[in-house]
Structure 1
Amino acid sequence: MKLSHFALTAAALALAACGQQTADTEAPAAPAAPQGLMEQVQAMAPENQLVFATTQLAAYQQAHPESQPPCQAVRGTESRGVIPPNIDPNSAYGPYVGSLVISVQCGELRTATRMDPNQQWLVVFAPGATEVQVANCGGEERSRCPRTLPLVEIGPTPTP
Protein backbone atom coordinates (compact mmCIF):
# COMPACT_ATOMS: atom_id res chain seq x y z
CA MET A 1 0.00 0.00 0.00
CA LYS A 2 2.79 2.37 0.89
CA LEU A 3 4.44 1.65 -2.44
CA SER A 4 1.30 2.61 -4.38
CA HIS A 5 1.00 5.93 -2.46
CA PHE A 6 4.64 6.62 -3.15
CA ALA A 7 4.17 5.86 -6.87
CA LEU A 8 1.08 8.10 -7.08
CA THR A 9 2.87 10.98 -5.35
CA ALA A 10 5.90 10.62 -7.63
CA ALA A 11 3.64 10.56 -10.71
CA ALA A 12 1.79 13.70 -9.55
CA LEU A 13 5.07 15.54 -8.94
CA ALA A 14 6.36 14.46 -12.35
CA LEU A 15 3.21 15.75 -14.05
CA ALA A 16 3.38 19.05 -12.16
CA ALA A 17 7.03 19.46 -13.09
CA CYS A 18 6.19 18.82 -16.76
CA GLY A 19 3.56 21.55 -16.69
CA GLN A 20 6.03 24.01 -15.17
CA GLN A 21 8.66 23.28 -17.79
CA THR A 22 6.29 24.09 -20.64
CA ALA A 23 5.14 27.27 -18.91
CA ASP A 24 8.74 28.44 -18.52
CA THR A 25 9.64 27.77 -22.15
CA GLU A 26 6.65 29.54 -23.70
CA ALA A 27 7.56 32.50 -25.87
CA PRO A 28 6.94 35.86 -24.17
CA ALA A 29 4.01 37.86 -25.49
CA ALA A 30 4.85 40.39 -28.17
CA PRO A 31 5.07 43.94 -26.79
CA ALA A 32 2.14 46.19 -27.57
CA ALA A 33 2.57 48.46 -30.55
CA PRO A 34 3.65 51.95 -29.50
CA GLN A 35 0.81 54.44 -29.43
CA GLY A 36 0.81 58.01 -30.59
CA LEU A 37 -0.12 60.84 -28.26
CA MET A 38 -3.67 60.99 -29.62
CA GLU A 39 -4.33 57.38 -28.68
CA GLN A 40 -2.80 57.92 -25.25
CA VAL A 41 -4.93 61.01 -24.66
CA GLN A 42 -8.11 59.27 -25.78
CA ALA A 43 -7.44 56.55 -23.20
CA MET A 44 -7.45 59.21 -20.43
CA ALA A 45 -10.44 60.49 -18.50
CA PRO A 46 -11.85 63.67 -20.10
CA GLU A 47 -10.65 65.94 -17.28
CA ASN A 48 -7.14 64.48 -17.51
CA GLN A 49 -7.11 65.14 -21.27
CA LEU A 50 -7.52 68.85 -20.59
CA VAL A 51 -4.77 68.90 -17.98
CA PHE A 52 -2.45 66.97 -20.29
CA ALA A 53 -3.12 69.46 -23.11
CA THR A 54 -2.10 72.39 -20.90
CA THR A 55 1.13 70.65 -19.89
CA GLN A 56 1.85 69.92 -23.56
CA LEU A 57 1.24 73.59 -24.42
CA ALA A 58 3.64 74.69 -21.67
CA ALA A 59 6.31 72.25 -22.87
CA TYR A 60 5.81 73.37 -26.47
CA GLN A 61 6.13 77.05 -25.58
CA GLN A 62 9.23 76.37 -23.54
CA ALA A 63 10.82 74.58 -26.51
CA HIS A 64 9.56 77.23 -28.98
CA PRO A 65 10.03 80.67 -27.42
CA GLU A 66 8.85 82.27 -30.65
CA SER A 67 5.29 81.10 -29.89
CA GLN A 68 3.92 84.32 -28.46
CA PRO A 69 2.31 85.37 -26.21
CA PRO A 70 3.37 82.82 -23.62
CA CYS A 71 0.63 81.22 -21.56
CA GLN A 72 1.17 82.68 -18.09
CA ALA A 73 -2.11 81.41 -16.61
CA VAL A 74 -4.80 79.09 -17.93
CA ARG A 75 -8.32 80.56 -17.88
CA GLY A 76 -10.06 77.63 -19.46
CA THR A 77 -9.72 74.47 -21.48
CA GLU A 78 -12.21 72.79 -23.75
CA SER A 79 -12.06 69.78 -26.02
CA ARG A 80 -13.17 70.27 -29.61
CA GLY A 81 -13.08 66.50 -30.09
CA VAL A 82 -11.81 64.76 -33.18
CA ILE A 83 -12.16 67.12 -36.13
CA PRO A 84 -14.64 65.61 -38.64
CA PRO A 85 -14.02 65.42 -42.39
CA ASN A 86 -16.82 67.90 -43.13
CA ILE A 87 -15.07 70.80 -41.38
CA ASP A 88 -14.75 74.03 -43.32
CA PRO A 89 -11.30 73.65 -44.91
CA ASN A 90 -10.73 77.42 -44.70
CA SER A 91 -11.25 77.50 -40.94
CA ALA A 92 -8.54 77.28 -38.30
CA TYR A 93 -9.60 73.65 -37.80
CA GLY A 94 -9.27 72.72 -41.52
CA PRO A 95 -5.70 71.37 -41.36
CA TYR A 96 -6.51 69.09 -38.42
CA VAL A 97 -9.14 66.71 -39.84
CA GLY A 98 -8.98 63.42 -37.92
CA SER A 99 -6.97 64.93 -35.06
CA LEU A 100 -8.06 65.45 -31.47
CA VAL A 101 -8.07 69.19 -30.72
CA ILE A 102 -8.17 70.89 -27.32
CA SER A 103 -8.55 74.64 -26.91
CA VAL A 104 -6.58 76.35 -24.15
CA GLN A 105 -7.50 79.93 -23.24
CA CYS A 106 -4.77 81.77 -21.37
CA GLY A 107 -4.80 85.16 -19.71
CA GLU A 108 -5.59 86.99 -16.51
CA LEU A 109 -7.67 85.06 -14.02
CA ARG A 110 -10.26 87.78 -13.47
CA THR A 111 -13.79 87.38 -14.72
CA ALA A 112 -14.09 91.09 -15.54
CA THR A 113 -11.15 90.82 -17.95
CA ARG A 114 -12.17 90.13 -21.54
CA MET A 115 -10.64 87.00 -23.10
CA ASP A 116 -7.91 87.84 -25.58
CA PRO A 117 -8.07 85.77 -28.79
CA ASN A 118 -4.30 86.11 -29.10
CA GLN A 119 -4.01 84.04 -25.94
CA GLN A 120 -6.15 81.18 -27.20
CA TRP A 121 -4.26 78.12 -28.40
CA LEU A 122 -5.20 74.90 -30.12
CA VAL A 123 -3.29 71.86 -28.92
CA VAL A 124 -3.54 69.23 -31.65
CA PHE A 125 -3.01 65.51 -31.15
CA ALA A 126 -2.70 63.96 -34.63
CA PRO A 127 -3.17 60.21 -35.10
CA GLY A 128 0.10 58.34 -34.60
CA ALA A 129 2.09 61.52 -33.87
CA THR A 130 4.54 61.57 -30.98
CA GLU A 131 4.49 65.36 -30.59
CA VAL A 132 1.70 67.91 -30.43
CA GLN A 133 1.04 70.66 -32.91
CA VAL A 134 0.14 74.06 -31.50
CA ALA A 135 -1.72 76.86 -33.27
CA ASN A 136 -2.60 80.34 -32.06
CA CYS A 137 -6.19 81.47 -32.54
CA GLY A 138 -5.41 85.18 -32.52
CA GLY A 139 -7.43 87.43 -34.74
CA GLU A 140 -8.07 91.11 -34.98
CA GLU A 141 -11.28 91.38 -32.97
CA ARG A 142 -12.25 87.82 -32.24
CA SER A 143 -10.86 84.33 -32.19
CA ARG A 144 -10.29 82.38 -35.38
CA CYS A 145 -11.19 79.24 -33.39
CA PRO A 146 -14.92 79.36 -32.57
CA ARG A 147 -16.41 77.02 -29.99
CA THR A 148 -18.81 75.59 -32.53
CA LEU A 149 -16.96 73.81 -35.29
CA PRO A 150 -17.64 75.38 -38.71
CA LEU A 151 -19.05 72.41 -40.62
CA VAL A 152 -19.94 72.40 -44.31
CA GLU A 153 -22.42 70.19 -46.07
CA ILE A 154 -20.94 67.45 -48.14
CA GLY A 155 -22.94 67.19 -51.33
CA PRO A 156 -23.55 64.04 -53.32
CA THR A 157 -20.74 62.95 -55.57
CA PRO A 158 -21.48 63.72 -59.22
CA THR A 159 -22.08 60.77 -61.49
CA PRO A 160 -20.61 60.82 -64.99
Structure 2
Amino acid sequence: MNQFTFMRQIDKSVQERMQARIERERVANNFRRLGNSAYRKAQFSTAIELYNHGLDYVNDTPVLYLNRACCYIRLRDFKRAIIDCDYILHKFDPKHIRAWLYRALSFKRLHVENSFNECISEVKRLNSRDIAFIDGFLERMRSAP
Protein backbone atom coordinates (compact mmCIF):
# COMPACT_ATOMS: atom_id res chain seq x y z
CA MET A 1 0.00 0.00 0.00
CA ASN A 2 1.42 3.37 -0.95
CA GLN A 3 1.36 6.47 1.25
CA PHE A 4 -1.47 8.13 -0.67
CA THR A 5 -3.79 5.13 -0.24
CA PHE A 6 -2.86 4.87 3.42
CA MET A 7 -3.60 8.56 4.05
CA ARG A 8 -6.97 8.31 2.24
CA GLN A 9 -7.95 5.44 4.51
CA ILE A 10 -6.94 7.40 7.59
CA ASP A 11 -8.90 10.46 6.43
CA LYS A 12 -11.93 8.31 5.73
CA SER A 13 -11.61 6.74 9.15
CA VAL A 14 -11.43 10.18 10.79
CA GLN A 15 -14.50 11.35 8.87
CA GLU A 16 -16.40 8.21 9.81
CA ARG A 17 -15.51 8.69 13.47
CA MET A 18 -16.59 12.33 13.32
CA GLN A 19 -19.90 11.40 11.71
CA ALA A 20 -20.47 8.65 14.28
CA ARG A 21 -19.73 11.12 17.09
CA ILE A 22 -22.19 13.66 15.66
CA GLU A 23 -24.88 10.97 15.45
CA ARG A 24 -24.19 9.80 19.03
CA GLU A 25 -24.43 13.40 20.25
CA ARG A 26 -27.73 13.83 18.43
CA VAL A 27 -29.19 10.71 20.03
CA ALA A 28 -27.85 11.67 23.48
CA ASN A 29 -29.34 15.14 23.12
CA ASN A 30 -32.72 13.62 22.29
CA PHE A 31 -32.54 11.51 25.45
CA ARG A 32 -31.58 14.66 27.38
CA ARG A 33 -34.64 16.48 26.04
CA LEU A 34 -36.90 13.56 26.91
CA GLY A 35 -35.34 13.43 30.37
CA ASN A 36 -35.92 17.14 30.84
CA SER A 37 -39.55 16.68 29.86
CA ALA A 38 -39.96 13.85 32.38
CA TYR A 39 -38.26 16.01 35.03
CA ARG A 40 -40.72 18.86 34.44
CA LYS A 41 -43.54 16.35 35.00
CA ALA A 42 -41.89 15.28 38.30
CA GLN A 43 -41.14 11.83 36.81
CA PHE A 44 -37.66 11.78 38.29
CA SER A 45 -36.97 8.04 38.02
CA THR A 46 -37.98 8.10 34.35
CA ALA A 47 -35.77 11.13 33.79
CA ILE A 48 -32.82 9.30 35.35
CA GLU A 49 -33.37 6.35 33.00
CA LEU A 50 -33.47 8.69 30.01
CA TYR A 51 -30.30 10.50 31.10
CA ASN A 52 -28.65 7.09 31.56
CA HIS A 53 -29.59 6.17 27.98
CA GLY A 54 -28.05 9.44 26.82
CA LEU A 55 -24.87 8.62 28.72
CA ASP A 56 -24.73 5.30 26.88
CA TYR A 57 -24.17 7.33 23.71
CA VAL A 58 -22.06 10.23 24.98
CA ASN A 59 -20.47 10.05 28.40
CA ASP A 60 -18.05 12.95 28.15
CA THR A 61 -20.44 15.82 28.78
CA PRO A 62 -21.32 17.14 32.24
CA VAL A 63 -24.91 18.10 31.34
CA LEU A 64 -26.37 14.61 31.59
CA TYR A 65 -24.55 13.91 34.87
CA LEU A 66 -25.72 17.22 36.31
CA ASN A 67 -29.33 16.65 35.26
CA ARG A 68 -29.21 13.17 36.76
CA ALA A 69 -27.78 14.58 40.00
CA CYS A 70 -30.68 17.02 40.14
CA CYS A 71 -33.11 14.10 39.82
CA TYR A 72 -31.33 12.22 42.59
CA ILE A 73 -31.69 15.29 44.80
CA ARG A 74 -35.41 15.46 44.08
CA LEU A 75 -35.67 11.76 44.98
CA ARG A 76 -33.68 12.47 48.16
CA ASP A 77 -30.89 10.13 47.03
CA PHE A 78 -28.23 12.63 48.05
CA LYS A 79 -25.28 10.23 48.04
CA ARG A 80 -25.81 9.41 44.36
CA ALA A 81 -26.15 13.12 43.60
CA ILE A 82 -22.80 13.72 45.29
CA ILE A 83 -21.22 10.94 43.22
CA ASP A 84 -22.41 12.55 39.97
CA CYS A 85 -21.25 16.00 41.09
CA ASP A 86 -17.85 14.64 42.12
CA TYR A 87 -17.53 12.96 38.72
CA ILE A 88 -18.19 16.28 36.98
CA LEU A 89 -15.69 18.11 39.19
CA HIS A 90 -12.94 15.52 38.76
CA LYS A 91 -13.42 14.51 35.13
CA PHE A 92 -14.70 17.66 33.39
CA ASP A 93 -14.39 20.94 35.23
CA PRO A 94 -13.15 21.48 38.79
CA LYS A 95 -14.86 24.91 38.80
CA HIS A 96 -18.30 23.73 37.59
CA ILE A 97 -20.52 26.01 39.64
CA ARG A 98 -23.74 23.98 39.55
CA ALA A 99 -21.91 20.76 40.42
CA TRP A 100 -20.46 22.48 43.49
CA LEU A 101 -23.84 23.90 44.46
CA TYR A 102 -25.75 20.63 44.01
CA ARG A 103 -23.00 18.88 45.94
CA ALA A 104 -23.34 21.44 48.74
CA LEU A 105 -27.12 21.07 48.75
CA SER A 106 -26.79 17.30 49.03
CA PHE A 107 -24.42 17.56 51.98
CA LYS A 108 -26.78 20.06 53.64
CA ARG A 109 -29.73 17.67 53.24
CA LEU A 110 -27.57 14.87 54.70
CA HIS A 111 -26.79 17.19 57.66
CA VAL A 112 -23.04 17.09 56.96
CA GLU A 113 -22.43 20.75 57.75
CA ASN A 114 -18.63 20.74 57.48
CA SER A 115 -18.74 19.33 53.92
CA PHE A 116 -21.52 21.78 53.02
CA ASN A 117 -19.39 24.69 54.26
CA GLU A 118 -16.32 23.39 52.42
CA CYS A 119 -18.30 23.21 49.17
CA ILE A 120 -19.59 26.76 49.57
CA SER A 121 -16.13 28.11 50.39
CA GLU A 122 -14.62 26.31 47.42
CA VAL A 123 -17.29 27.33 44.89
CA LYS A 124 -16.95 30.97 45.98
CA ARG A 125 -13.16 30.79 45.77
CA LEU A 126 -13.22 29.19 42.31
CA ASN A 127 -16.05 31.34 40.92
CA SER A 128 -15.48 34.72 42.53
CA ARG A 129 -17.23 36.52 39.65
CA ASP A 130 -20.45 34.59 40.29
CA ILE A 131 -20.97 35.36 43.99
CA ALA A 132 -24.41 36.89 43.35
CA PHE A 133 -25.55 33.72 41.56
CA ILE A 134 -24.14 31.54 44.36
CA ASP A 135 -25.81 33.65 47.05
CA GLY A 136 -29.10 33.53 45.15
CA PHE A 137 -28.90 29.75 44.97
CA LEU A 138 -28.16 29.54 48.70
CA GLU A 139 -31.10 31.82 49.48
CA ARG A 140 -33.47 29.67 47.41
CA MET A 141 -32.03 26.57 49.05
CA ARG A 142 -32.64 27.94 52.55
CA SER A 143 -36.24 28.86 51.74
CA ALA A 144 -37.01 25.44 50.18
CA PRO A 145 -38.55 22.73 52.36
What TM-score bracket applies, with the shorter chain setting the length? under 0.3
**TM-score computed with the length of structure 2 as normaliser:** 0.27
Higher share of residues assigned strand: 1
Query: Which structure is higher in helix share?
Result: 2
Q: Using CA pairs under 8 Å that are at least 6 residues apart, name the structure with larger relative contact order, 1 or 2.
A: 1
